[in-house]
Amino acid sequence: MKNKTVLKRSIALLLAVIMLFGLTACGGKDEEETTAPETTAQVTTTEPAVDTKKVNKLTGLSTLSEKAYGKRPVAIMINNVRAALPQYGISEADLMFEVIVEGGITRMMAVFGDYTKVPNVCSIRSCRYYFPILAHGLDAVYICFGSNKTFGTPTLKKLGIDYFDGAANYITDLFGRDANRLKSYSKEHTAYVKGENIPKVLESKKIRTDYTEGKNVPIFNFREEGKAVAAGDTACDKVRLNFSPSYYSTFTYDAEKKVYLKQHNGSVHKDSVSGEQLNYTNVFVLETKVTPHTDNYLMKVELKGGNGYYISMGKSQKITWSKASEADTIQVFDSTGAPLQVNPGQSYIGIIAPDSTKITAKPAETTAAAK
């Protein structure tokens, strides 16, 4: 009887051990099946975060050098008359403005997002009052060679903008005369900026280099790098901006490079040092009221807003734009009024009178034959 009792207890104990082992094994198996897929999913969906410090606020591209993180851009006035061509250093500008000035000619302003990488830039010329207003909206340091005393200099002083005028204060570390150009150009077309010296000049003159609060943001609503799309539904193989009867800029789409190549009055617009034709991922046409000042010498260009076009990747769309104040940057909007999505890359902004722009596309048969 005693042996039977012992046997029963042994069997019961054995069954309990087996049940406990089975439950433990099942628990281990369930845990393995549920955690393994989660680990796999975490590995496959994790993407490296974009280092926003590296993003150039003018292009949306991660190209800034470490020394330029959070630093202000530099805007340089460019002489654009025929007698001053070709210029140099301008093909490296991240943002290029072109606006009419007196006599029907245009002047440009090249803006560089990385103040440590500005090349030597020639030829530079004098200020017209609307250019520092554009630079002020970007929180840029402004560089020119001379300034109109009626409106230019008063605007610079009113804005309290950080600027260098080579004609008023010739800093030898910053400005120079191109010795080779002096042999064949008029002197007014030979002044240049010593780009590599800009950081030390700003430091020595105690000029603020950090962006002011709220300005260290991209100037456009840029798409992600590598995800550019056509600007709209209207084909645009060529666009011509007629600033005046004697001065116009043309952009022709290069489908292979996915950029618009610039021509100046019908001729290739090149950088004489890089040898590169000016080209842009984005072309903006901003229409506004342009009239002569009362003295019929200088021009008056309104910078409040208006209509225009955004052109990129072989297509265009109509847009609107605004500049809330002299201290604000330009804002661009699509046809619905939403902030415009812009492809990352270099941009050209032409500010021009309404009905002065012609957009054309290749004839259908030409396009078909090319394919």
- Write down the pLDDT at residue 115: 98
The pTM (predicted TM-score) of the whole model is 0.85
176's CB contacts (< 8 A; 6+ apart) are 191, 192, 194
In a domain, 4, yes or no: no
Q: Could you give the number of structural domains in the chain? A: 1
Residue 59: inside a domain = no
DSSP assignment letter at 329: P
**Could you tell me if residue 5 is inside a domain?**
no
Number of H helices, E strands in the chain: 5, 24
Tell me the backbone φ, ψ of residue 3, rounded to 5 degrees: -65, -40
Sign of CA dihedral 342, 354, 105, 130: negative
User: What pLDDT does 52 receive?
Assistant: 86
Q: What is the pLDDT of residue 48?
A: 53
Residue 297: per-residue pLDDT: 78
Collect the ranges in the chain with pLDDT lower than 70.
1-50, 295-296, 363-371
Q: Kindly report the backbone phi and psi dihedral angles of residue 104, in degrees, each rounded to the nearest multiple of 5, phi listed first.
A: 80, -5
Tell me what pLDDT residue 364 has. Answer: 53
H-state helical runs in 181-240: 198-204
In a domain, 173, yes or no: yes
In a domain, 348, yes or no: yes
In a domain, 220, yes or no: yes
Instruction: Break the chain down into helix, strand, coil percent, rounded to 5.
Output: 25, 30, 45
Q: 43 in a domain, yes or no?
A: no
Measured CA to CA, the distance from residue 352 to residue 358 in angstroms comes to: 12
Please give the distance of CA 268 from its chain centroid, rounded to a whole number: 22
Domain housing 218:
66-365
Judged by DSSP in three states, 271 sits in strand
Identify whether 246 is preceded by a cis peptide bond (ω within 30 of 0). Answer: no
Residue 334 belongs to domain with CATH number: 3.50.90.10
